[in-house]
Each structure stands twice: as C-alpha cells, then as structure tokens.
Amino acid sequence: MVVYDFKNVVKLKKLKNSEKVLPKHAEKISDISNGLFKEFKYSSYKDTPPYPNESIRTLQELIKMVGANPNEDFIYSMDRITESFEKLCSELEIPFDETKIEEILEEASGVILDLKYHFNRPRPLMVAELYGLDLEENELHIDTKDSPSFPSGHATQGTLIANYLANKHPNHSIRLKKLARDIGKSRVIAKVHYPSDIVVGERLGNDMFQHLKENNLL
C-alpha cells in the first residue's frame, strides 16, 4: 500500500540524499577548472531539476522499479565502465587506450558530481521507503548512496566513452552505443537510479563528447 498523506508529503519535500559534499567529491568538483571540461558550458542543466520526490512522476518511476526483476549478472557486468568497454573492444578487435579512457572518466566526474550535489536528489531507495515501497536492497545501493541520484554518472560516462570510441571506430558505433545504453539500463534494473536520471545522464554524456570534439580535446 502506497503511503501518501500530508505528513508524508512534507517529509518527501524535505528529503535530500546528502547532508554535505564529501571531501573526495569536493576535490573533484574543484578540479573542473583545471581539466578537459573547464570551458564546458553546463549551466542549463542546473536550470532543469529532476521530478520532485512527492510528484506523481517520481512515484510512477518507483512503482515500475518495484515490479522489475533484477538480473544480477547483467547489473554487475555493467557496473565497471572501463572493464565493460575494454571487453567489447577486445571482441571487436579494436584498440583500447585505457589511460585515455580513465582520464576522460576522471575529468567527467567533477561535472557530474557538481550537478548531483546541486540537486541533491535522494536515491530511489530513500524515497521508496517513505512511500512504503520495497526496492529490495543489493550491494550497489551501499556503493552508490554517498552521492546524489541525478543525473546518473554511469549513464553520462558510458555515453561519453561510447561516443569517444565510436568517433575513432565508426564501423562499430552501433555496438559501442548499445553498450552505453545497457550501462544506463542496468542502473535502473539495479534500482539505484530513476529512469529520468538515465535520460539526463545520456544527454549530458553526448554534450560532453561534443565539447571534447569541438575543442580538439580527443
């Protein structure tokens, strides 16, 4: 039974993921000004907030997630972005520059974290509990709870890396971008992200790639 009364709505409106920015995250955010994305314009993302906790859209997303059957093999195989792309590149017999990939992922994390803390959207598990919904915890809930939910870092970084590799190997674009979509999808199946986190994360990843390409930073 979904709990949705005045007292509950008040709690939902006040609910945030984090009380403060963790020092390790603050350091990455401060490093934006010295990295690949120092000139990246993403202020428009700060003007587009996620659905409120107490909104029908958020509740609808949660209800769909409750009914989803988690595929644990799929979830954990998609969790490590670098390893996922390295494996696919091996299958496709194309070069994989791990050093460059890790650099891009690390540089992107500052922008992602800046947006996450700007909105401080609580993870689905936190909101589901107030609604009386059971999302069935797994170890990924523990791994992700120290950062806010919106946008999805995995969706952003997966999309960014897929574009980076597809730009170098256009004949394999379909397979590379499918992997990125699977990485985003896995986060919803794991119930650590709302579908709307993924949508915005994918858009952000595309924009970040365009920034690198247009500024000859690839």
Q: Which pLDDT does position 1 carry in this prediction?
A: 62
Long-range contacts of 73-77 (CB under 8 A, 24+ apart): 74/182, 74/186, 74/189, 75/138, 75/140, 75/186, 75/189, 75/190, 76/140, 77/186
Q: Taking residues 7-30, what's their average pLDDT?
A: 95
Least confident of 5-9, 29-33, 198-202: 5-9
Q: Taking residues 130-157, what's their average pLDDT?
A: 87
Q: Taking residues 172-185, what's their average pLDDT?
A: 98
Helix (H, G, I), strand (E, B) or coil at 158: helix
pLDDT for residue 123 is more than 90 = yes
Query: Distances from the Cα of 151 to the Cαs of 14, 71, 117, 184, 195, in angstroms?
Result: 19, 22, 10, 11, 10
118 half-sphere exposure, CB direction, 13 A CA radius:
18
- Please state, as a whole number, how many other Cβ atoms lie within 10 Å of the Cβ of residue 88: 18
Q: Which pLDDT does position 27 carry in this prediction?
A: 97
Confidence class of residue 96 from pLDDT cuts 50, 70 and 90? very high
* CA 28/CA 5 separation, integer angstroms: 39
Q: Taking residues 3-25, what's their average pLDDT?
A: 91
pLDDT, tens digit, 9 for 90 and up, residues 34-62: 999 999 999 999 999 999 999 999 999 99
How does the average pLDDT of the chain come out, rounded?
94
Confidence class of residue 141 from pLDDT cuts 50, 70 and 90? confident
> What does the block give as tokens for 111?
């922008």
Confidence class of residue 201 from pLDDT cuts 50, 70 and 90? very high
